[in-house]
Structure 1
Amino acid sequence: MNSLISSLDSAGSRTRRNNAGSVAPAPAADTRATPLALPEASTPRGPAASGWRYSNQLNEQLTSAQRALGFVDGLTGQLEQLKTDLSQQLTQRRIDREGLEAKIDRFAEALSQRHAQSGGSVDGNLRFHLAADARQNFTVRGMELDNLRKGSPETLALFSGERGTAAMSLSVGGDISEDDIMRRLNRTLAPSGIRPFVNDDGQLSFSVAESDWPAIRDRLTVRGGGIRFPSGQPQRVKTVAESERLSSSDWQVADHANVRQTLQRVVSALSQLRQAHSAIASAIEEARHSIDQLSRMGEQSWAEEFVADFNARLNQSGDYRSFLDVVPALLGLSRYRVISLLSI
């Protein structure tokens, strides 16, 4: 059952890192030529249809994963050809600048289609998200941990800019702990879909679904009490997006020195794409294994094992961050809704 949980757990909690739901690179065979079909035993046939609903969900995720694999492999193919051309140009007297620049432009155009071509399952850091819920990480000027924790108390009112939504109020200052400020941020920002986290550098960062990022980037405003942010009319905050891991903006081919430098960057980019390919392929194989398991498992057995694994995950040692993935799912969940669901 662990393989199923890890396949579905595309947003595992981490103590000091973004819980954006990435799948770590792992060696795996190339799955491009393998069709994504449900095992025959997992199709619904009365009482023997054990686990079919869950297998069907995983199969949809597999389809998304194959789109991601196709996107990554398409970029890899372009870079392999560019690498060959750059190597050949280094042995010639004259550089075919126009030809090389055209190939770099085509690669940049393909890279810009990342979200659409991967179905939202590959983010800007080439991390793979099995649930196709890639997120954009960003920071907000003026919202640093120390700035929000220390100093005089102040109430901030944040506005997502979405019509009809109320202000999100947040009390800061007063020398509160890091855990307290993160709890408050999570509770305040959860309705907007924004998730706060502490990045690898120990800095306060935020993430939002990539599809929601343009609106958050352009409309997020804050009103303070005149301590950290001005009072009066809400002011638009300065958001800084996390830079994408792969970019060709500085690939130059004007002369042999430029070509040599660009070749090194292309080789590095190819290594990153191969790691992404391995991560996606590994996740695909794990999900397929889960489908096979579910096709042979009764729904009651599945439910019992899932509940046991879920409880173990929530009861693991650690701090409140282990609950970050669960809180958004529980918003608006009332006793009446639970009873209605159980009565089906």
Structure 2
Amino acid sequence: MQLPALSGPDHSTALSARVGAAGPAQRPESMAAVAAAPAPATLPASHFTLPRSGAGVVPPQFNQNVANAQQALSFLDELSGQLQQLKGQISRQLTGSAPTTSALDGAHRRLAQLWAARPERSGYRLDSQLAYSPEAPARQRFRLRGLDSRTLAAASAETVAFSLTGTQRQAMGVRLDPDLPPEAQARRLDQALAPAGIRAHASRQGDVEFSVAETEWPRVRDQLSVKGEGKRFPTGQFVRARTEPETPLLAPEHWQLDTPEGLRQALPQILRAEQQGQHSRSVIERSLAAAGQALDRSAAAQGAPAAQRFADSFTEQTAEANYPLLATLSPSLLGLPRPRIDRLLALG
């Protein structure tokens, strides 16, 4: 005997989207000072849209997006606490009400450890600028020496080849032409490097900026090689590309907090990180609110017919109860969350 399905996979996980979460700042158009970065816009609702599938069926990607948002929120919560603690101790130190050295060092060490674990702790969804990536791993932005606006425009045309270990060591070639605008040059580089997972775009300053998934950044940093025709890049054998990663929002591993100057240099980074974290929280909260609304719309559109079919089938099949029947029904009812049942009953 088969009963109609009422709930989809991991439905309870999707319902947890109602729990508040935090959100990210949009990535800057260029790798200029983080302080000049604009406030983030609301993420498109499509990131948390449910398809018109069977009643109560929540696609795994929807649940994954929600889980990623909540994990990013958890990281932002912990980061905020660490930043506030260290900021307070630095402020007291600068105003003469000095904390103990061990307390200051401990707060510094804990923040550095948390920030170093940012990729994993945020589900690989918050990048080094605390920008949130809703559907794919956060990306590391970087530049390549020899591909700035000056060299792109100054040298004559040149064919450049890139190679990355692990991509079948296949050379990825592109023709650079100084007569083309920066946007066109960037598009050519983007098309050439896309097979390696590297994307390119032109900044407002006319430089070419690249990005790769953070999980792939160590390989790109250490193994990307390039050769040219002796103009922008040397000819002959491939040589290691000189990558320049975007400066992270925080660099606690470089802070020297044993001098007033070092304390004053660290404080602006802490303040910017707090501001960016607040922006991120706002965006993710709006995203999770959209997820809750998507669940409501799905339940309203599909829940009532499914509930009626289930009720009719249940009534018909339990008209004459017996042990084998109850043994079949019980597993079907286990695990249905009460909010799900209340919601379906309310639709009637």
TM bracket, shorter-chain basis? 0.5 to 0.7
Per the normalisation by structure 2, the TM-score is 0.66
When structure 1 is superposed on structure 2, of 76-85 and 226-235 the one drifting more is 76-85
Displacement of 1:265: 4.8
Q: Is the 8 A contact 2:223 2:240 kept in 1?
A: yes
The residue that corresponds to 1:239 in the other structure is: 243
Say which SS state the counterpart of residue 157 (structure 1) adopts: strand
Q: 1:142 aligns with which of 132, 143, 146?
A: 146
Structure 1 residues 130, 295: CA separation in 2 closer, same or farther (over 3 Å shift)?
farther
Structure 1: how far apart are the matches of 2:245 and 2:190? 20
Displacement of 1:92: 5.5
When structure 1 is superposed on structure 2, of 190-199 and 284-293 the one drifting more is 284-293
Displacement of 1:149: 5.2
The residue that corresponds to 2:203 in the other structure is: 199
Whichever residue aligns with residue 227 of structure 1, its letter is: K
Q: Is the 8 A contact 2:183 2:202 kept in 1?
A: no
Structure 1: how far apart are the matches of 2:221 and 2:283? 30
Q: Is the 8 A contact 1:157 1:167 kept in 2?
A: yes
Displacement of 1:124: 0.4
Q: 2:281 aligns with which of 273, 277, 281?
A: 277
Residues 305-316 of structure 1 correspond to what in structure 2 (within 5 A)? none
Q: 2:165 aligns with which of 158, 161, 164?
A: 161
Tell me how many residue pairs correspond in the alignment: 267
The residue that corresponds to 2:193 in the other structure is: 189
The residue that corresponds to 1:109 in the other structure is: 113
Displacement of 1:252: 4.2
Displacement of 1:223: 1.5
The residue that corresponds to 1:289 in the other structure is: 293
Larger Rg: 2
Structure 2: how far apart are the matches of 1:245 and 1:199? 19
The residue that corresponds to 2:57 in the other structure is: 52
Structure 2: how far apart are the matches of 1:48 and 1:93? 62
Displacement of 1:278: 1.9
Displacement of 1:213: 0.6
Whichever residue aligns with residue 49 of structure 1, its letter is: G
When structure 1 is superposed on structure 2, of 268-277 and 234-243 the one drifting more is 268-277
Say which SS state the counterpart of residue 52 (structure 1) adopts: coil
Structure 1 residues 52, 249: CA separation in 2 closer, same or farther (over 3 Å shift)?
same
The residue that corresponds to 1:310 in the other structure is: none
Q: 2:215 aligns with which of 188, 211, 216?
A: 211
Q: Is the 8 A contact 1:136 1:213 kept in 2?
A: yes
Please state if 1:230 is matched with 2:206.
no
Q: 1:83 aligns with which of 87, 90, 93?
A: 87
Structure 2: how far apart are the matches of 1:252 and 1:16? 31
Structure 1 residues 52, 231: CA separation in 2 closer, same or farther (over 3 Å shift)?
same
Q: Is the 8 A contact 1:170 1:188 kept in 2?
A: yes
Whichever residue aligns with residue 76 of structure 1, its letter is: S
Structure 1 residues 172, 270: CA separation in 2 closer, same or farther (over 3 Å shift)?
closer
Q: Unaligned 5+ residue runs, structure 1?
A: 1-9, 28-37, 299-344
Q: What are the Cα deviations for residues 44-73 of structure 1, in whole angstroms up to 9, with x where unaligned?
A: 9xx97258354x422211111110000010
Please state if 1:178 is matched with 2:182.
yes
Q: 2:127 aligns with which of 123, 130, 133?
A: 123
Q: What are the Cα deviations for residues 8-59 of structure 1, in whole angstroms up to 9, with x where unaligned?
A: xx9xx999669xxx996479xxxxxxxxxx9xxx8x9xx97258354x4222
Cα RMSD between the aligned structures?
Answer: 3.5
Structure 2: how far apart are the matches of 1:79 and 1:211? 25
Structure 1 residues 131, 23: CA separation in 2 closer, same or farther (over 3 Å shift)?
farther
The residue that corresponds to 2:67 in the other structure is: 63
Q: Is the 8 A contact 2:187 2:200 kept in 1?
A: no
The residue that corresponds to 1:309 in the other structure is: none
Q: Is the 8 A contact 1:16 1:197 kept in 2?
A: no
Structure 2: how far apart are the matches of 1:213 and 1:159? 15
Residues 14-33 of structure 1 correspond to what in structure 2 (within 5 A)? 25=40
Whichever residue aligns with residue 137 of structure 1, its letter is: R
Say which SS state the counterpart of residue 63 (structure 2) adopts: helix
Q: Unaligned 5+ residue runs, structure 2?
A: 1-22, 32-36, 43-47, 303-348
Q: Is the 8 A contact 2:193 2:199 kept in 1?
A: yes
Per the normalisation by structure 1, the TM-score is 0.66
Q: Is the 8 A contact 1:151 1:175 kept in 2?
A: no
Structure 1 residues 71, 232: CA separation in 2 closer, same or farther (over 3 Å shift)?
same
Q: Is the 8 A contact 1:150 1:176 kept in 2?
A: no
Structure 1: how far apart are the matches of 2:177 and 2:154? 5
Q: Once the two structures are aligned, what percentage of the paired residues are identical? A: 34
When structure 1 is superposed on structure 2, of 94-103 and 62-71 the one drifting more is 94-103
Structure 2: how far apart are the matches of 1:208 and 1:157? 18
Q: What are the Cα deviations for residues 268-305 of structure 1, in whole angstroms up to 9, with x where unaligned?
A: 4322322222222222222332333344457xxxxxxx
